[in-house]
Structure 1
Amino acid sequence: MAISELKLPASVRALDFANPALLAEALADKVAGQLRQAIEQNGVATLVLSGGRSPVMFFQCLARQVLDWSKVVISLADERWVPVEHVDSNAGLLKRYLLVGDVARARFIGLYRATASLQAAADEADQVLAELPPIDVLVLGMGDDGHTASLFPNSTNLAEAMQAEGTRRCLPMRAPTVPHQRLSMTRTLLASARLSILAVQGEGKLTTLRTAVAGDDIAEMPIRAFLHSSLEIYWCP
């Protein structure tokens, strides 16, 4: 089954790719093109990314793109509350695979803070994100449970995080898997992106998307909040 066979909203554009390498190259080309356009129009471009294992090839392709990275601001949709040196750190992942070479000239705004509590870390990150320019490109992932960023079903603070017009930019969240403690941008901030892209791989993710588009309870599957806006989905087996 191809993603184009799903009954997606008319505002959602779905693209199929034969393998992860082709998806990564196409996604990098798209993102870089949008960043160049934003720089030309506004003098600065803002990119918000998701972590995990799947984006590594995309990060490597994006790092080879030629553009004025000194005019790009990069941040993360979510983060594990672990130091940058920790194997599970999304910031650490970016530093290894994206923020290298010319891309190191970009300004990186991370979410992790070495505070006494997760709540304090989220409060500090919320204030720092006030400096984030308008988001030009947002690249999201999705879990098999329908979570995106660290907006997990049944997570503490989910109702506040999913407010369409909330005042918070970042909230503490709790994942069902280790590491449990997370920091996540809220729906309000994520949904403000000029271009949102969902990048997913595997037949399991098609099954999850099929379930997501068949319902409307965003607390049950937070990805639903982003499937009814202007969105591009990149998928490969």
Structure 2
Amino acid sequence: MNIQEYADRDMLAIDVANVLAGELESALLHHDIASLVVPGGTTPGPMFDVLCAADLEWDRVRVLPTDERCVPGDHERSNERLIRERLLTNRAAVAQYFPLYVPGKDPEDVLPEIESLITPIRPLSVLVLGMGEDMHTASLFPGMDGLEAALDSHARPLAVARTEVQPEARITLTAPVLDGALSKHLIIFGSAKRDALERAMSLPPEEAPIAAVLSGMTVHWAE
């Protein structure tokens, strides 16, 4: 794991976007397509604003979220909404988006359909993750039902996450899919998350799910 520190969040957004663009360009030199997997939430937004203007063959890039709430794509809590509004615009508007949630269907019922799209693009080319102060990443939460199965090295690509603290079910990529990405980046802000990351380094993944994917990770941090 390598930690990169930045003077401020704006500089982080610019630098990380440039790094990701370079990695995607390199992936496209060697493969017909490249995959970019990104989180929702407010943290990656400024980075998306820069990355979407990168001069890439975006029509050869497949974009998918690390996880998704089971809400319509235009819902204010939808990761898809943020990704479409701030990443899949400008030059990146021609990239193909792979949603994890199909409205009107139980999440368990659509997993095989979505997994059939993910399997051909494994290993993932470029992965960006976020992390909560509880050390969750994607929708792998400490103490959630099914966490052990989602962390297992032979886990299916997707899992359904249900927790008492979340108002809706979520669909998440599992640990082996995330950890197997060719390039892995974690973006965190503030001292509380930096402290949480340091705690996670000495905890098992069952207590700190982010620990399952830290090997070879580049961490980007700003206060």
What range describes the TM-score normalised by the shorter chain of this pair?
over 0.9
User: Contact between 1:137 and 1:196, CA under 8 Å: does it hold in 2?
Assistant: yes
Give 1:102's match in structure 2, choosing from 91, 115, 118: 91
Q: Partner amino acid for 1:122? A: L
- Which residue of the partner structure matches residue 115 of structure 2? 126
CA distance, structure 2, for counterparts of residue 118 and residue 177 of structure 1: 18
Structure 1 residue 176: Cα displacement = 4.4
Structure 1 gap ranges (5+): 1-11
Q: Work out whether 1:201 is the aligned partner of 2:216.
A: no
Q: TM-score normalised to the size of structure 1?
A: 0.90
Give 2:208's match in structure 1, choosing from 203, 206, 221: 221
- Which residue of the partner structure matches residue 236 of structure 1? 222
User: Contact between 1:126 and 1:171, CA under 8 Å: does it hold in 2?
Assistant: no
User: Contact between 1:28 and 1:61, CA under 8 Å: does it hold in 2?
Assistant: yes
User: Contact between 2:127 and 2:185, CA under 8 Å: does it hold in 1?
Assistant: yes
Structure 1 residue 192: Cα displacement = 1.4
- Closer, same or farther: CA 226–134 of 1 in aligned 2, 3 Å: closer
Q: Partner amino acid for 2:196? A: T
Percent of pairs with identical residues:
32
CA distance, structure 2, for counterparts of residue 120 and residue 169 of structure 1: 14
Q: TM-score normalised to the size of structure 2?
A: 0.95
Structure 1 residue 89: Cα displacement = 0.6
99-108 or 112-121, larger mean C-alpha shift: 112-121
1:61-90 Cα shifts (integer Å, max 9, x gaps): 111211111111111110000000100111
- Which residue of the partner structure matches residue 7 of structure 1? none
Counterparts of 1:16-27 in structure 2, within 5 Å, are 16-27=5-16
Query: SS at 1:156's partner residue?
Result: coil
Query: SS at 1:199's partner residue?
Result: strand
- Which residue of the partner structure matches residue 171 of structure 2? 183
> How many residues of Structure 1 are paired with residues of Structure 2 in the alignment?
223
User: Contact between 1:115 and 1:121, CA under 8 Å: does it hold in 2?
Assistant: no
- Which residue of the partner structure matches residue 60 of structure 2? 71
